[in-house]
């Protein structure tokens, strides 16, 4: 028999929540048991709070019952961070979705965690403001999810990721205390910055119930460039040049030749024909001697400044291996270019039935080394590996393509993944740039971080959540001997 919620706790939770806000039917619970990692769980129950007071009462009740709590936004996470165990209660913040305040003079917005990123952007547009984090799922992911995973996106190269665009938080700890972190000011030197600690903690330290976000004026004009290169190494070297000069691009995206083909054929982008499809054995030498990679570059700001910015970015993009640098013809062309980029990840499934997508990050100057190593790994394992992503941050999505029904390909894909992680760590990088750790990557932290850092993280977890009820089994690996 699968576990069920005890009757006394059912009565308690039903009383503290609004009518109909405790879901017990298995069919309803199933809808809250998965995320974009394709992992699935079945929680004991799903709670839909509408206030911070209800969240506090919920945490206190579950702490007394020693039941785990798993916070959930819209389930767009790719690492299993919001997948519950069968002994857990899911806390979905979908009903805490209000935009509480917009203060243009302070450039801040105060929001509840269930507000969608896309809805926030629409509400800010009349004020001439925006919130910079823009993951691929921006139209339907929640602000709470963005906070939990420190979401980024293409604009992070200029404007920073989520952690750089939050001023203050209110959150409920694992003891049921409501605590305020930070302040609605852009400067501060008053103790530890605990709000930045919570961002990226994936619901393992506290449940965020309110956020004060730092807003940015919408740029009045944008211009996009596409730069074509003879090979991926030349494009990677150009990224390092672009980020070493004074003009920071508002976006800088890298695409290898397979990505360009998919963006053109599946996404409809106006892109040049590069070389043919990647050989199934991953051997770069088997490619025809044609263009092999592309950079998508954007500048934004006042119209009077853009000519200088575009000239500087064009000059930096040119160099060894650069075949062409072309400006998008108009705003419609720019929009189409970026729309095709966002369609890349799902389009990769047209190449192979299986895909391992890792969002590794290295120092920008070491991108050429990472790209060269990935190509060598593809050849060694005789598998196609496709790369694209936020090159201006050193954050590349490395996609290992394989057939899950072929045992040999599965083994080689797993070996390729391990080699990618070893390479990233050796290059002073991190195993996740924006997707987070969740369930999938938690054992990697012990390889990527020092024992001293891991011990401090466990101590912080114990301070915020002494009974370990908040999203257990996520982010941190088990301690040795436990």
Terminal CA-to-CA distance of the chain, rounded, Å?
28
Task: Show Cβ contacts of residue 75 under 8 Å, excluding neighbours closer than 6 positions.
Answer: 32, 34, 35, 36, 82
> Quick one: pLDDT band at residue 29, thresholds 50, 70, 90?
very high
**In terms of domains, do 199 and 250 share one?**
no
pTM over cut 0.75: yes
CB 44 within 8 A of CB 5: yes
**In terms of domains, do 108 and 196 share one?**
yes
Q: Higher pLDDT residue, 55 or 440?
A: 55
89, β-bridge pairs:
45, 69
**In terms of domains, do 160 and 267 share one?**
no
33 within domain boundaries: yes
**In terms of domains, do 404 and 296 share one?**
yes
**In terms of domains, do 327 and 254 share one?**
yes
> Quick one: pLDDT band at residue 267, thresholds 50, 70, 90?
low
Calculate the CA 228 to chain-centre distance.
Answer: 27
Q: CA–CA separation, 183 vs 3, rounded Å?
A: 43
464 within domain boundaries: no
**According to the model, what pLDDT value does residue 347 have?**
74
According to the per-residue pLDDT averaged within each range, which of 146-155, 284-293, 443-452 is highest? 146-155
CB 252 within 8 A of CB 390: yes
**In terms of domains, do 258 and 385 share one?**
yes
pLDDT tens digits, one per residue of 409-445 = 999 999 999 999 999 999 999 999 888 999 988 888 8
**According to the model, what pLDDT value does residue 479 have?**
78
Residues in the chain: 482
178 within domain boundaries: yes
**In terms of domains, do 17 and 112 share one?**
no
180, β-bridge pairs:
170
**According to the model, what pLDDT value does residue 232 have?**
84
Query: In this structure, what CATH number is given to the domain that contains residue 197?
Result: 3.30.465.10
**In terms of domains, do 315 and 248 share one?**
yes
CB 172 within 8 A of CB 209: yes
Task: Calculate mean pLDDT across residues 216-227.
Answer: 93
CB atoms within 10 A of CB 444: 18
439 within domain boundaries: no
Sign of the torsion formed by the C-alpha atoms of 140, 143, 146 and 148 = negative
**According to the model, what pLDDT value does residue 233 have?**
86
255 within domain boundaries: yes
465 within domain boundaries: no
285 within domain boundaries: yes
Of 192, 217, 242, which marks where a domain is finished?
217
Task: Calculate mean pLDDT across residues 446-464.
Answer: 94
pLDDT tens digits, one per residue of 332-373 = 777 777 776 777 766 777 788 888 889 999 998 898 899 889
445 within domain boundaries: no
**According to the model, what pLDDT value does residue 54 have?**
98
Mean confidence (pLDDT) of the chain: 90
Asked if pLDDT for residue 276 goes beyond 80, the answer is: no
**In terms of domains, do 85 and 178 share one?**
no
**According to the model, what pLDDT value does residue 55 have?**
98
Of 56, 72, 92, which marks where a domain is finished?
92
pLDDT tens digits, one per residue of 136-183 = 888 999 999 999 999 998 999 999 999 999 999 999 999 999 999 999
**In terms of domains, do 338 and 411 share one?**
yes
* Number of domains the chain contains: 3
**In terms of domains, do 246 and 169 share one?**
no
Of 92, 125, 153, which marks where a domain is finished?
92
Among candidates 432, 399, 357, 394, which has minimal Cα distance to 149?
432
Structural domain harbouring 26: 7-92
**In terms of domains, do 260 and 388 share one?**
yes
């Amino acid at each position: 028999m699968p576990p069920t919620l005890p009757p006394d706790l059912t009565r308690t939770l039903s009383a503290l929540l609004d009518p109909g806000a405790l879901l017990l039917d298995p069919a309803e619970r199933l809808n809250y048991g998965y995320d974009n990692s394709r992992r699935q769980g079945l929680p004991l129950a799903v709670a839909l709070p509408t206030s911070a007071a209800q969240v506090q009462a919920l945490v206190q009740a579950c702490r007394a019952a020693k039941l785990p709590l798993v916070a959930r936004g819209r389930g767009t996470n790719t690492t299993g961070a919001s997948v519950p165990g069968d002994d857990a209660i899911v806390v979905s913040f979908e009903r805490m979705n209000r935009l509480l305040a917009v203060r243009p003079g302070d450039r801040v917005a105060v929001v509840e965690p269930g507000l969608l990123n896309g809805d926030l952007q629409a509400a800010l547009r009349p004020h001439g403001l925006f919130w910079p984090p823009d993951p691929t799922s921006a139209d339907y992911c929640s602000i709470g999810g963005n906070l939990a995973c420190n979401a980024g996106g293409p604009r992070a190269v200029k404007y920073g990721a989520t952690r750089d665009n939050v001023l203050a938080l209110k959150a409920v700890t694992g003891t049921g205390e409501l605590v305020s972190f930070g302040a609605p000011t852009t400067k501060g030197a008053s103790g530890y910055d605990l709000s930045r600690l919570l961002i990226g903690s994936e619901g393992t330290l506290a449940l965020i119930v309110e956020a004060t976000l730092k807003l940015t004026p919408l740029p009045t004009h944008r211009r996009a460039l596409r730069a074509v290169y003879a090979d991926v190494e030349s494009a990677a070297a150009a990224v390092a040049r672009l980020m070493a000069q004074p003009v920071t691009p508002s976006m800088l995206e890298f695409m290898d030749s397979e990505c360009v083909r998919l963006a053109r054929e599946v996404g409809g982008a106006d892109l040049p024909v590069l070389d043919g499809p990647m050989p199934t054995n991953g051997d770069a030498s088997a490619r025809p001697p044609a263009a092999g990679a592309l950079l998508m570059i954007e500048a934004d700001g006042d119209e009077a400044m853009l000519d200088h910015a575009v000239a500087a970015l064009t000059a930096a993009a040119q160099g060894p291996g650069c075949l062409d640098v072309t400006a998008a013809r108009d705003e419609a062309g720019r929009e189409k270019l970026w729309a095709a980029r966002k369609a890349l990840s799902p389009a990769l499934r047209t190449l192979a039935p299986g895909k391992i997508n890792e969002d590794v990050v290295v120092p920008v100057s070491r991108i050429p080394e990472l790209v060269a190593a990935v190509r060598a790994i593809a050849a060694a394992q005789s598998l196609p590996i496709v790369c694209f992503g936020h090159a201006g941050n050193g954050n590349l999505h490395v996609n290992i393509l394989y057939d899950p029904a072929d045992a040999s390909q599965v083994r080689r894909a797993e070996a390729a993944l391990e080699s990618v992680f070893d390479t990233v760590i050796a290059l002073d990088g991190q195993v996740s740039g924006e997707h987070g750790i969740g369930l999938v990557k938690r054992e990697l932290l012990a390889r990527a971080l020092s024992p001293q850092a891991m011990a401090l993280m466990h101590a912080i977890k114990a301070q915020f959540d002494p009974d370990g009820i908040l999203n257990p089994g996520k982010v941190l690996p088990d301690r040795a001997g436990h």
